[in-house]
Amino acid sequence: MKKEEFYKIVTENSNDGTLAFFTGSGFVKSFCESAMTWNELIKETAKNLEIELKDEWNNFSEPVKFSIIADEFANKNSVTFEDAQLRVKDIISDLTNYSVSNCQKYTKIFLNLKPSFIVTTNYDTTLEKILCGKGISLSIEDAFIKRNDTIPIYHIHGIRTNSQSIVATQQDYVKYLRPSNYALNRLPLLFSENCVIIFGYSIHDLNVLHAIDFANNFYKINKNLNKSIFQIKYIRDNEVCKEDLYLQDGIWVLESNNIFKLFEEICEFKNDYTAQKSNDIVKKMLDGDQQLIDDYIKDNDKRNQINAVICDTNQMAQSNYPYVLNFFSSVFDSLDVESSKPYNFSAYKTKLKIILILINDINFSSIPELILDYIIDQFVNVSRYVGYEFGKSWDAKSFWNANKFNINKEKLKTVFDIIKMKKEADTYYFCSDAMNLLNEVVDKE
């Protein structure tokens, strides 16, 4: 696979909200000298607990080494193994409190690419520092959540701010690998439904192999190339990187000796690619392209792309908004034609869905008042046909009931106030249905 194709896949998933990062300690260590690998963390933990590491432990896995350290500490200090484990975790928590001064160089990159979530086995909170308040920390006992304007950071091996959550010893892993573990059951779904970039791990890291095996085999589904798993493999400066990506063990591998520069290139490609697509959408809108109108009505992904362009004041000049109004007029005229056909009540549901998405997506303070008024007019018109009574659209009413609390409440309150004001000014005569629907959601103090 060519680099440009990889950049395009990342860009499209970033724009669609289906890009994810899976990052390990190697990423933090690339810009933070005090960051530790697992072996370094084991040595420092043993040093802090005054436990001497023995050569015969070298062939043991890291979790077994942490267990031995805890056991040695318990015997030496006459405490229970459970108390010794907690002491080990407290030490790990202190050791991973990295002082990071130059991680902000990644802030612009991460906020540009906007991963829908980040998964990490790291205990530290460097990713939270990179995101500057835009990240929300989740540990192994937390349910996976997604909120507007925040990026979930899923610490699947625990987080240093809650030392008891840290997964380090062999005993911790036995509990962690139970079939009922929420994180392990959630990860395959997340990896299957998103484009995942893995970085900060070696190519044969057990965490990577485990995640990939789960993603590929836990749920047997067909994944297209756009939802593949990619790994960035670090290559030393004195070695030559392969130019193209290659397939290895079910993932696409891209070699790089400068991950920051690579991410900069991806962001530059995304900015150019997105601007070109936006320009294409604007041009088709100005030309009154019928295919664009049909795509807006029938294709959710295309509709999201078009809405993003319309709402982006950097891409949409004020002089183009009259054409946007003409575009919306053509969209709703087409839906009115469909809804006028006998028994085609589902068209009202489609119209209501498009209106509610617009209300949720657009910035009321930057969109021209003329367009906002038009959207509200359309809401008033379609509301007359939303209900379970004879002659109304049951599908539209069911859709409203299922989604009314997912729409920004403040925006619905603004719509309610505008309709009420126009009713009092005798501008609206048939708005009772719209106000009754909104009354189900907004506060009317």
Q: What is the pLDDT of residue 94?
A: 95
Q: What is the pLDDT of residue 132?
A: 87
| DSSP calls for 357-423 | HHHHHS-TTTS-HHHHHHHHHHHHHHHTTBSSSTTSBHHHHHHHHHHGGGS-HHHHHHHHHHHHHHH
230 against 149, higher pLDDT? 230
Q: Are strands 19-23 and 195-199 parallel, antiparallel or unpaired?
A: parallel
Contact 385, 333 (CB under 8 A): no
pTM higher than 0.75: no
Lowest-pLDDT range of 37-41, 190-194, 428-432: 428-432
What pLDDT band is residue 70 in, cutting at 50, 70 and 90? very high
Q: What is the mean pLDDT of residues 138-151?
A: 80
Q: Per-domain residue ranges for the chain?
A: 3-36+98-266, 38-95, 287-439
Q: What is the pLDDT of residue 202?
A: 78
Q: What is the pLDDT of residue 445?
A: 46
What pLDDT band is residue 23 in, cutting at 50, 70 and 90? very high
What would be the CATH architecture of the domain defined by 3-36+98-266?
3-Layer(aba) Sandwich (3.40)
Q: What is the mean pLDDT of residues 153-157?
A: 92
**154 pLDDT higher than 90:** yes
What pLDDT, in 10s, does the model give residues 311-368? 765 555 566 677 888 888 999 999 889 888 888 889 999 999 999 999 988 888 778 8
Q: What is the pLDDT of residue 424?
A: 77
246-248 sheet: strands from edge to edge: 135-138, 151-155, 117-120, 19-23, 195-199, 229-234, 251-256, 246-248
**221 pLDDT higher than 60:** no
What is the rounded CA–CA span in Å between residue 194 and residue 187? Answer: 11
**31 pLDDT higher than 90:** no
Q: What is the pLDDT of residue 265?
A: 95
**228 pLDDT higher than 50:** yes
Q: What is the pLDDT of residue 362?
A: 83
**212 pLDDT higher than 80:** no
What pLDDT band is residue 107 in, cutting at 50, 70 and 90? very high
**370 pLDDT higher than 80:** yes
Instruction: Record the tokens describing residue 258, joined without a space.
Output: 């400068």
30 closest CA partner among 206, 242, 262, 258:
258
**12 pLDDT higher than 80:** yes
